[in-house]
């Protein structure tokens, strides 16, 4: 795991003593071996120092989907949603009255 990402993760944790969030600049990585990381953390609010031992696994989460294998292959290399797609949907929804039957009616 990238050290900056680990610092961001630890910065999302609150100090046990005062409840304030740690700051990334006050988190020092002492050492890591495989999945085990040792960090020194300082709380600038209450001046508490602590040692953190964390196990960080970099496994990818299993994808849970109702798509078939063929559908997964079909969509695997498609481009994602672009900003223009989002803007177009926003414009549509802004004026949409919620009448789905009329929207999907054969013309």
Q: Tally the domains of the chain.
A: 2
Q: Is residue 65 part of a domain?
A: no
Map tokens 């009329």 to a residue.
102
- Could you tell me if 13 and 41 lie in one domain? yes
Q: Is residue 48 part of a domain?
A: yes
Helix (H) or strand (E) holding 49: strand 49-55
Q: Is residue 42 part of a domain?
A: yes
Q: Is residue 106 part of a domain?
A: no
- Could you tell me if 81 and 50 lie in one domain? no
Q: Is residue 63 part of a domain?
A: no
pLDDT digits (tens, 9 = 90+) for 13-72: 999 999 999 999 999 999 999 889 999 999 999 999 999 998 888 777 787 889 899 988
Contacts of 7 by beta carbon, 8 Å cutoff, 6+ apart? 24, 27, 29
Question: Cα–Cα distance between 48 and 42 in angstroms, integer?
Answer: 6
Residue 1: predicted pLDDT: 56
Residues in a beta bridge with 50: 41
Residue 28: predicted pLDDT: 93
Q: Is residue 67 part of a domain?
A: no
**Containing structural domain, residue 31:** 3-55
Give, in order, the Cα–Cα distances in Å from 64 to each of 58, 61, 68, 73: 18, 9, 11, 15
Q: Is residue 64 part of a domain?
A: no
């Amino acid at each position: 795991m990238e050290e900056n990402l680990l610092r961001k993760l630890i910065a999302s944790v609150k100090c046990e003593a005062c409840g304030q969030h740690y700051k990334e600049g006050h988190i020092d990585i002492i050492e890591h071996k495989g999945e085990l990381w040792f960090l020194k953390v300082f709380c600038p609010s209450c001046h508490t120092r602590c040692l953190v031992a964390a196990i960080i696994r970099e496994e990818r989460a299993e994808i849970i989907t109702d798509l078939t294998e063929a559908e997964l292959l079909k969509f695997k290399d498609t481009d994602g949603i672009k900003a223009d797609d989002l803007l177009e949907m926003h414009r549509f929804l802004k004026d949409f009255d919620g009448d789905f039957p009329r929207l999907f009616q054969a013309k």
